[in-house]
């Protein structure tokens, strides 16, 4: 039983090591640099929410998300905050 206990402990430590290794070896600066360059070029730092992103502030209409409860806002709606960042 003690062996199984130690093996389980070792497995958990291995998981921690795997997470830390991935964290340390990932090219975080490279990922950030790509974003930084785009922002330096365009001057716009707000996140791009996809080409199909719904923008009530700009489009002034809203499609019902739930037919049984049309007043319910879709859960992924971002306009309430993102929409105010320079109107992007």
Q: Which residues lie near another protein (CB under 8 A)? A: 1-2, 4-5, 8, 12, 15-16, 18-19, 22-23, 26, 28, 30-55, 58-59, 61, 74-78, 81-82, 84-88
Name the residue among 63, 51, 59 with its Cα closest to residue 87: 59
Q: Which is nearer to another protein, 16 or 68 (CB)?
A: 16
* CA atoms within a 13 Å half-sphere pointing along the CA-CB vector of 31: 5
Cα–Cα distance list, 17 to 5, 8, 25, 54 (Å): 18, 14, 12, 41
What is the smallest separation between the CB atom of 5 and another protein, expressed in angstroms? 4
- To another protein, the closest distance from the beta carbon of 4 in angstroms equals 6
8 Å CB contact between 79 and 54:
yes
Q: Of the two residues 51 and 68, which places its CB atom closer to another protein in the complex?
A: 51
């Amino acid at each position: 039983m003690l062996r199984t206990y130690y093996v389980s402990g070792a497995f958990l430590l291995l998981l921690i090591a795997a997470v830390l290794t991935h964290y340390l070896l990932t090219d975080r600066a490279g990922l950030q640099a790509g974003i930084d360059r785009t922002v330096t070029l365009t001057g716009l730092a707000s996140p791009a929410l996809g080409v199909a992103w719904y923008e009530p502030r700009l489009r002034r209409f809203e499609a019902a998300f739930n037919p049984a409860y049309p007043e319910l806002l879709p859960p992924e709606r971002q306009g309430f905050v993102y929409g105010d960042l320079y109107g992007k």
